[in-house]
Amino acid sequence: MASSLYILPCAIFLVFFFSSPSNADTPSAPSSTPIAPDLACNATLYPDFCKSLLPNNSPLNIYDYGRFSVRKSISSTRKFSALTNAYLTTPVTTLSKNVVRALEDCRLLADLNMDYLSNTINTIGSTTDLPSLKADDMETLLSAVITNQKTCLEGLQETNAPAIVKNSLYNPLSDGNKVSSVSLSLYNRGWVHKRMKGNMEKGRKKKFFCSDMKSCRHGRLPLKMSNRNREIFESIGRRKLHQTDSNEVLVRDIVIVSKDGGGNFTTINEAVAAAPNNTVVSDGYFLIYVVSGVYEEYVTIDKKKKNILMMGDGINQTVITGNRSVVDGWTTFNSATFVVVGQGFVGVNITFCNTAGPSKHQAVAVRNGADLSTFYSCSFEAYQDTLYTHSLRQFYRECDVYGTVDFIFGNAAVVLQNCNLYARLPMAGQFNALTAQGRTDPNQNTGTSIQNCNILAAPELARSNGTTKTYLGRPWKEYSRTVYMKSYIDSLIQPEGWIAWSGDFALNTSYYAEFNNRGPGSNTANRVKWTRPINATDAETFTVSNFILGGDWLPSTGVPYDAGLP
């Protein structure tokens, strides 16, 4: 990720949907009416580029322009992927290890983009009307395409790649990003006529299945499984599952990971490899139960491993740990100990660590690029760039996040609810920023919503006599968006609340807001001028129900959540 003068942060401020006028708000002719390319392009971020892209032999309607631009994006992505592969097949002696890793990131991201764009064109290719969740699905995928392209570029910029490599890749990346931006803008104008409202039900109440409530830090999921799987779980886990009448989480199969050989596998990666590919959530989750222990391995839940439920024995009981960092030659993107890409992942009762330490700068504990993913009662522990909420839609409930510089960052549409965010003691001369959001396009439906959380000092920071300044966040990208709502903010936060990235960069285009927070650090009287108070109506935009449409997909996870403002 991008770096500052001395912190080298790669964090992105997790921020929200900004209420600036979108393309859908721009007065125009009906979407089915043919219009000139100039009129279609004027509301995009790159109007001149858009005009050069769209066909001008005869006017089309917004839907046809949108489909045309998505197909152009597919073509651009395919060509860039081929170019990246060409470099990766050159003799290894010509490229350094960190350049190869950055190119491998780009290849992975381009592969994901081909999936997202193909899904989009297949969905919109023959319709002008989509139900709200499906419309949000496509908006989310097109937003992620832009994020993936930016991540590829940032990874290359972190390396010492030869000029010939950078020069040959930067222009296709830049043009591809513009095509993707035009595609998202035209899609929003055609298919997303207004910001959809989600299912405003009350949310799920907390459930427990622990036999000894004192051993439960938080509620745990009510699981519905076959008698055989239930017997396996209760035998290995030494806890009785309570029967419930409704809202149980359907489990299709279970495997046990135990370092002592008492389960099906001794490593988490073996269990992940055993999971079936491309499942659907209605058939149930593949449960990987990881018994207590410290697992020193780098785990990836790839795109084919959908609907995995990974459950441990509790925070600080089941621990997954690694120590990769940018200083040691990894990109920020691939420094993560635990990586999630497969849709529908649910993680429960696990601690994820990156122990590289503050001197190694960017060192990610978890990178999450999985749509409709959830973490419940988990802990994320590192220093700079702890939790990389990279892309798509995510939810975190009753989790602990520890870090220093930009320690919650990325460009997902993400809600953290009822979590504890702990600022740690950084290196001398550094300050803490809890968030750094990476929204680069005003049409992306991304941002970070922090709701009913506790903003606290970790013990080592609390003992430091206030020598470290700590802020709620800073704008890493031009359209960063972050909102704190109804949270407890302790005295560690500076009165100004937020800090700029560099000069006046993004201060006029970012969206930073606070609503009904409490605690000694919540007073907004001396906040920076580029943040804003919001009312309850604005705050509802960033709730689980509206921001990530959680009422449509969270019930199947069994995780408790508040749909609206608590």
Query: What is the distance between the alpha carbons of residues 278 and 144, in angstroms, rounded to a whole number?
Result: 20
CB 49 within 8 A of CB 178: yes
The DSSP code sequence of 274-307 is HSPSS--GGG-EEEEEE-SEEEE--EEE-TT--S
Q: Dihedrals φ, ψ of 467, to 5°? A: -80, -15
Set 136, 406, 441, 562: catalytic member: 406
Q: Report the Cα 119 to chain-centroid distance in Å.
A: 20
Reduce the DSSP state of residue 434 to 3 states and report it: strand
CA distance 196 to 308: 28
Given the structure tokens 């081929």, which residue do they identify?
A: 82
The backbone torsions φ and ψ at residue 245, rounded to the nearest 5 degrees and listed phi first, read: -80, -30
Which residue do the tokens 């950084």 mark? Answer: 426
Cα 346–chain centre separation: 14
> How far apart are the C-alpha atoms of 57 and 368, rounded to whole Å?
43
The answer to whether the Cα torsion of 84, 85, 86, 88 is positive or negative is positive
End-to-end CA distance of the chain: 35
- The HSE-up count of residue 85 (CA atoms within 13 Å, CB side) is 9
Contact 385, 332 (CB under 8 A): yes
Residues 103-142: b if buried by 16+ CB within 10 A, e if exposed: bbbbbbbbebbbebbeebbebbeeeeebebeebbbbbbbb
Give the position of tokens 């919650």: 408
Active-site residue, 406 included: yes
Do residues 448 and 16 touch, judged by C-beta distance below 8 A?
Answer: yes
Please report the beta strands in 174-278, taking only residues with DSSP state E, as ranges in sequence order: 203-204, 223-224, 249-257
Q: Which residues are catalytic?
A: 406
